[in-house]
Structure 1
Amino acid sequence: MITETPKRKPRFRLHPTAILNSQRLRRSLMDTYDQKSFYKYIIGIILSLLSIGSLFYTDLLVEELEQREEREVQLYAEGLRYVFNSPFDENFNIIYQVIQDAVNFYQIPAIYVNENNLATANETINESFPAKMTPKEKERIIQDKLGEMKLEHPPIAVELGKGRTGYIYYSNSFLLTQLRYYPFLQLSVMLLIGYLAYLAFSSARKAEQNRVWVGLAKETAHQLGTPLSSLMAWVEYFRSDPAIDPSIAEEIEKDVIRLEMITTRFSNIGSVPTLKDEPVAEIVTNFVNYLEKRVSSKVKFAVHNQLAPEQTALLNKNLFEWVIENICKNAVDAMSGVGHISVTLQAPPTTREIWIDISDTGKGMSKANMNKIFDPGFSTKKRGWGLGLTLAKRIIENYHSGRLFVKSSEVGKGTTFRILLNAAIIE
């Protein structure tokens, strides 16, 4: 005959096959995540190599073309020297014209300055002037061009004989200028392609994660349905037997109701939840009190509420409690069932937010793990699917338009998670 409640709470243990399946699922999720990251890095490396190769090759082309243009201007200077220092002959003029045409062919802007440091429109190449422009206006434009050319290239001297020297100033052709800036344009295009590829991979990764955890949640809800019906029948059987302490049936029924709520949560994953204006402090406090009785007695909870009693936020109570549960259970595991969990609620006056900090005295985590803690399938435990914190982050950020992140963590001292919610205006 059963006359009293057992002193030791029975613990639910996963079947070894279930543990093995959870580990396989976790590895599968992590493999998928790592594979996506691998392809992302490969594309980044390929784009980087293409960019570096293009920049190097274009630089060689620019240098070669610049040298060729310099040779053409030097040839033009040699033609001028030859004409000025030779007896007048029509053949010399033809040679000079050919050389000038070569400079024109490459569209190299050039200005000849005579020994008196004067330059006229007739002594400029590849510089156009409007038909109605006055000589003074042309001279001003020529002087401006000369100033630019002096900064770009050193002049090429033209020996005129008898101690006289002229100079040819020139600048890069339009083709060379285009080619010089082309690598930057190409690099910008490469960066744009890389950014679009990153967005595509990120979108595909998130979509795949969503399909995995939505399918897993619905399948879990489906699998829980049959044993829950059986447990409810057992509760009614215990109640009908006068030899069984009624408190046992009541406690079992509470846990069955809890399991039914969890099943409802899983079955609603993937659909848009209904949000209501809820008292945040009351929900958090009541749920922490409920949770404290169902974890190790060596774990002590403390709630520090700094919110006004009337402070509310738009919440889906069931899903929000699920977030608190996932974070707290993660903290219990990090402390190996022994330690303190502190929940602090506050609403800074400078923001319209509610901050909920959940701190533990567990083993903490490294910076590398902090960056991966919300990745699906990542877990430092041998058991579990590594989806609890992933689901929690999605619930807060996608459904409640808030934020969930690791505020701080120190190896050997503990971790603090922070939840940010949009606070309702208190009238």
Structure 2
Amino acid sequence: MKKVLIAGSALLLGLAACRSKTKTEQTVAGPPVGTFAYDQVFLQNHHKDVVVLRDGDAQALVLPAYQGRVMTSTADGKTSYGWINYDLIRSGKLLPHMNAFGGEDRFWMGPEGGQYAIFFKKGDAFTGDNWQTPAPIDSEPFTLVTSNERSARFSRNFQLTNYAGTAFNVGLEREVRLLSRPELAQLLEIPSADGLKMVGVQSNNTLINRGQEAWTPDKGLLSVWILGMFNASPRTTVIVPFRKGSGAVINDSYFGKVPVDRLVLKDTVAYFKADAKLRSKIGVSPDGAKNWLGSYDPATQTLTLVTYTFDPANRQYVNSMWEQQKNPYGGDVVNSYNDGPMKPGQPQMGQFYELETSSPAAALAPGNRLIHTHTTMHIQGSEAQLAPIAQRLLGASLPAIQQVFSQ
């Protein structure tokens, strides 16, 4: 069976309601489009419960209505990093199959496809017409428990039934934190953050078995899946460091093989073009994954970094391929998606790319928990300041990142 999308970008359904930031979004009066201030005003005009996290210029916008999603953030008080689907939000409507509201840290769950899928009903063919994102992780709100200027905590309980007919009583606890500059400096392994504009948002996502029976591999397991949607630009490059494994650790077969002018493997680093011009995706298996990935936009001199909880000894990750799978626990740990038209001449979801991480499969006894922590950082600075950070954490020099697709 042909391999189909497993990314959080999912199907490009309802494309007429989806587009990126354009000049048509600009109001007659108010902050200019593309700025954090514009996005804050826009979201507050459509949702009264927007949580604003703030530490000086570093800020983030979080929406309980969209599962405690981090919609966007800023390091300098001006630049807005998260891709937002203005038209869909403005419409006030819900689309079939999936609602791509955007956001740079959104909570999802796996597996998407396969014999233990939670996006397909038992017995249905694995086709787009049958594919449906579960409402609790798509269109229903999370409960805001507490919030202040630095953090917000959410909770939600719901039921899911997978393709095999297994029922899950799920509990979720989600905390979103705005990291302080000392915390960011420690994570980035730099002695000082002087001269850098930085913002870091960390989500701690706890999956709980609220039922009376254990979750076991033979009946299907769940996972935490965090996806970030960021504004693409013509020269944005995703950098994914990897370990050399016993086989191919980079999977680029989701929509057909990624062209060689868009994916370059150099020793232990994968470079992936993130210009929103071609629908494509890569993933890294547990054999090759490291706990850092990122992107660089030379136009704005912004280095984006993602780190997450990862135990290389744990090799069980849910498989989301749309097929009856030979190995339902042979899925990817990290992924990156670049948006583009489904077919030439067709519209696309938007001008964005994604950085994604997943937890291991959650084999939980009643009352037990799995925690997956996902941290997104944006650093603006000179090339001299950013180069050692990129080299140390991503294993790639800044000149190599900028030149890899210019040859």
TM range (shorter): under 0.3
Q: Determine which structure has the larger helix proportion and give its number.
A: 1
TM-score normalised per structure 1: 0.25
Higher RCO structure, 1 or 2 (CA under 8 Å, sep 6+): 2
